[in-house]
Every structure is written in C-alpha cells, then in structure tokens.
C-alpha cells in the first residue's frame, strides 16, 4: 500500500512504548503510579461541567469553524486580563479543537512547499507535534537544541542569516514541555524582532502558561507589536479539560482569516456545548488557582526526597512537569526502565529529543497520596 513518507518517518510515538510497558506490568499485578503522560487527573470544576450539561440541546447542528462570538469575546477578555493585550474577538481569535490539531495544522496553512522559504524551526527536547505537522505539509524541519546552560532557550545567534532567510515558522513552547522552563520577555521580544527582519511567523505553543509555581509566565502576545506572532492556548491543562478539546489561536487578522478559511475543509470548532462550558472556564480564575495549588502540593511532596538523594532539578519553574537529571551513568531509558519495574512510570528525557538525554520527566498527574507512596519508593531505590 502507498503511504505518505511523512507518516512512515514518524515511527512509534514514544509514549506508545510506555503504554505497552504499563499494560504488561499491570497484567503482572505491579501497582503502578503514573507520572508519564501529561493528562491531568483532577476533576473539572463543577460549574464548567454544569455549563456543558445545560447547553446539551435537543438538536445540535454543525458548529461553525469560526466558533461562537461569545467564546471569542471570553477569550479576548481573558487575554486582556491575563497578559494586558487587546485583541479583536472578531478578527484576531479563532477557537480550536484543543490546541494539538491547530499546532499540527498550522504548517498546512502557512507553508508553500514550492517556495525556498519553507523551513520550520522547532525546539528539542520538545512536544513532537509541530515537527510532524510541518513534515506532513512538505516543509523542511530543523530542531534547535534547548540546553540547560542557555536556560532551555534556543540560541538565536547560532542560526545564520542564510538560514533565517529560509525560515517560515519558528515554534516555541513556553512554559516548556518537558523542561518546565519559562521564556523571559526580552527573549520573546528578540525573537519577534527577528520575525519582522526575516519575515517569518513566531508560533508560540502556550499550553502551560497557567500552570506556574512562583510568578505568572509571559505570553508571546505581549510582544506582538515587535513582529509576527501567533499564540496557541488551551483549557486542557489550565482547567483540567483535556477531554473537552477546547483551545484558541490568537494572531493578526491576516493569519486568523487564513485559519478560518482553512477550518471548514478539515473540521469544525468544538461542539457547541463544549464552547459554552469553555466560556465559563475562561471567565473564572478561582478553579485555576486550585489547580495550581494541587500541583504545588504534589511537587512539595516529591522535591525533598529527590533533593536529599542528590537528584538535580533543572528548569521546572512552571508546567506540571519536573525535569530532573539522571543520576550516575545510566541512560535516561535505562533509568526510567528501572523505576518502571518498581511501578513508577516516568518519561526518559530521550523521548523528547537528543538534547533530553541525561534527564527524566515526572508529570505531576498522580494523586497527592500516590506522590507520597512514590516518594517512599524513590527514597528506597535512589
């Protein structure tokens, strides 16, 4: 059968390997504590769930790709309150089905595969979706390493002018999965300036802006006057709503118009009842404060044992992830496999790219009680 070469090149999504190992150990009766995938286990706020139920009408037609005006207004107001930016709900926002698909599909809308300007820069270790979306769109893809010594920021000065000239999109993801690092405003401003100099789009995956421990992180929207910026955000992590599929893209009118033109070819906005629930979610911060508190408590259970065992915590100032150095001279996969045999599911850093080797990631999704049990196991085996 003929298959897309881009599909063949993707290989197995690394987390599928973890799922298989999980099933094997569960069948053997091993008690598993899951710090693997970043899927929040917390209950969604009752008011959000009720809004969904209330909107479940007798008949629901196709949702328009541009989404409900009330949802776009709620998102614009949230961006205003949270980042101090003014966005037009009609022209500069489009609701999306979670953020993953929008991230994947961006290159389809932006890339001209016959042009010399078809390079997409992504960062690694990282979320693989921007790379895959770009590959399926016929773009060239290059990954910029995120090194700890550079604060897990890409080194913009290491990219030559001839490369910048070929760049159509630069993907960044701050707060960053997997490192938990955040981007200072001056880095975002410098990148935005380059986007104007070299005529590319900064695509900022901001799925984790609301999960932070000390200070609220910045959005690339705050530097949009310096360049071409599109921000992708989502209720998945902020409001523990991964199953609802609700996010948005905020960008200049020209890109939003292009996304609205493209949208009806591939699908629709989220179901109307999800959009109604989303309006409630974007309008409330108290449940988000509770969500942050929960992650903070779990982190506080785990950090002391990790630190007492000399495990260095890198990045990890935001997101739901701890990015930790692998002790000794084991590879990250060997180390994760050792923890797995004791029932602790963590992700080896190498899952996220070559620059992730030497680290491991704990997603703080297990319950607080499970975190306490995990701390006891770590105490024993590290």
Ligand X SMILES: Cc1ncc(COP(=O)(O)O)c(C=O)c1O
Binding site for ligand X (CB under 6 A): 38, 98-100, 103, 127, 173, 177, 205, 207, 234, 236, 242, 247
DSSP labels, 200-267: -EEEEE-TTTT-BSSSPPP-GGGGGGGS-EEEEEEHHHHTT-TTT--EEEE--HHHHHHHHHHHHHH-
CB of 145 to ligand X, least distance (A): 17
Bridge pairing between strands 347-348 and 359-363: antiparallel
Closest CB to ligand X among residues 184, 243: 243
Partners of 34 in beta bridges: 345
Specify the residue for token string 């693989």.
128
Closest CB to ligand X among residues 96, 228: 96
The set of long-range contacts for 292-295, using a CB threshold of 8 Å and a minimum separation of 24, is 292/210, 292/211, 292/212, 292/213, 294/42, 294/368, 295/211, 295/213, 295/320, 295/364
Partners of 95 in beta bridges: 248
CB of 150 to ligand X, least distance (A): 19
- How far is 99 from 36, CA to CA, in rounded Å? 20
Contacts with 205 (C-beta within 8 Å, 6 or more apart), sequence order? 99, 103, 127, 130, 171, 172, 173, 232
Closest CB to ligand X among residues 83, 321: 321
Closest CB to ligand X among residues 102, 139: 102
Closest CB to ligand X among residues 63, 198: 63
Picking from 10, 8, 20, the residue whose alpha carbon sits closest to that of residue 337 is: 20
CB of 100 to ligand X, least distance (A): 3
Picking from 227, 231, 237, 225, the residue whose alpha carbon sits closest to that of residue 259 is: 231
CB of 316 to ligand X, least distance (A): 15
Closest CB to ligand X among residues 230, 305: 230
Closest CB to ligand X among residues 164, 295: 295
CB of 38 to ligand X, least distance (A): 5
Closest CB to ligand X among residues 242, 350: 242
DSSP code of 36?
S
CB of 270 to ligand X, least distance (A): 11
DSSP code of 327?
P
Closest CB to ligand X among residues 99, 228: 99
Partners of 110 in beta bridges: none
In Å, what is the CA distance from 36 to each residue of 57, 149, 321, 351, 381? Answer: 37, 26, 10, 11, 18
In Å, what is the CA distance from 378 to each residue of 37, 40, 179, 244, 339? Answer: 19, 22, 21, 34, 8
Closest CB to ligand X among residues 132, 198: 132
Are 352 and 179 contacting, i.e. CB atoms less than 8 angstroms apart? no
CB of 15 to ligand X, least distance (A): 10
CB of 97 to ligand X, least distance (A): 8
Coil, helix or strand at residue 351: helix
Tokens of 201: 């789009």
In Å, what is the CA distance from 83 to each residue of 18, 185, 202, 216, 246? Answer: 37, 12, 17, 10, 20
CB of 103 to ligand X, least distance (A): 6
CB of 188 to ligand X, least distance (A): 16
């Amino acid at each position: 059968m003929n298959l897309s070469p881009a599909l063949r090149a993707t290989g197995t999504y690394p987390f599928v390997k973890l799922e298989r190992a999980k099933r094997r150990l569960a069948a053997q009766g091993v008690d598993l504590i899951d710090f693997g995938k970043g899927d929040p286990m917390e209950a969604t706020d009752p008011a959000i769930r009720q809004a969904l139920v209330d909107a479940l009408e007798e008949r629901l037609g196709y949702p328009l790709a541009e989404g409900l005006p009330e949802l776009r207004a709620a998102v614009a107001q949230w961006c205003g309150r949270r980042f101090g930016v003014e966005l037009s709900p009609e022209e500069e926002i489009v609701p999306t089905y979670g953020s993953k698909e929008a991230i994947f599909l961006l290159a389809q809308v932006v890339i001209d595969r016959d042009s010399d300007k078809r390079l997409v820069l992504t960062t690694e270790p990282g979320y693989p979706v921007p790379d895959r979306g770009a590959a399926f769109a016929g773009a060239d893809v290059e990954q910029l390493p995120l090194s700890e010594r550079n604060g897990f920021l890409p080194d913009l000065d290491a990219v030559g002018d001839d490369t910048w000239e070929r760049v159509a999109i630069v993907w960044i993801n701050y707060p960053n999965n997997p490192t938990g690092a955040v981007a200072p405003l001056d880095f975002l401003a410098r990148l935005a300036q380059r986007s104007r100099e070299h005529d590319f789009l900064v695509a900022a995956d901001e799925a984790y802006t609301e999960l932070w421990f000390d200070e609220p992180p910045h959005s690339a929207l705050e530097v949009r006057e310096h360049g071409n910026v599109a921000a992708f955000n989502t209720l998945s992590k902020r409001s523990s709503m991964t199953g609802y599929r609700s996010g948005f893209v905020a960008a200049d009118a020209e890109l939003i118009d292009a996304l609205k033109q493209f949208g009806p070819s591939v699908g629709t906005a989220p179901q109307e009842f999800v959009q109604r629930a989303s309006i409630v979610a974007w309008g409330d911060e108290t449940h988000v404060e509770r969500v942050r508190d929960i992650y903070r408590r779990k982190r506080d259970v785990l950090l002391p044992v990790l630190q007492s065992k000399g495990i260095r915590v890198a990045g990890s100032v935001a997101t739901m992830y701890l990015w930790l150095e692998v002790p000794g001279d084991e590879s990250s996969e060997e180390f994760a496999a050792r923890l797995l045999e004791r029932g602790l599911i963590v992700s080896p850093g190498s899952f996220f790219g070559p620059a992730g080797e030497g680290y491991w990631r704990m997603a703080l999704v297990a319950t607080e009680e499970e975190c306490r049990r995990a701390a006891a196991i770590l105490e024993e085996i590290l």
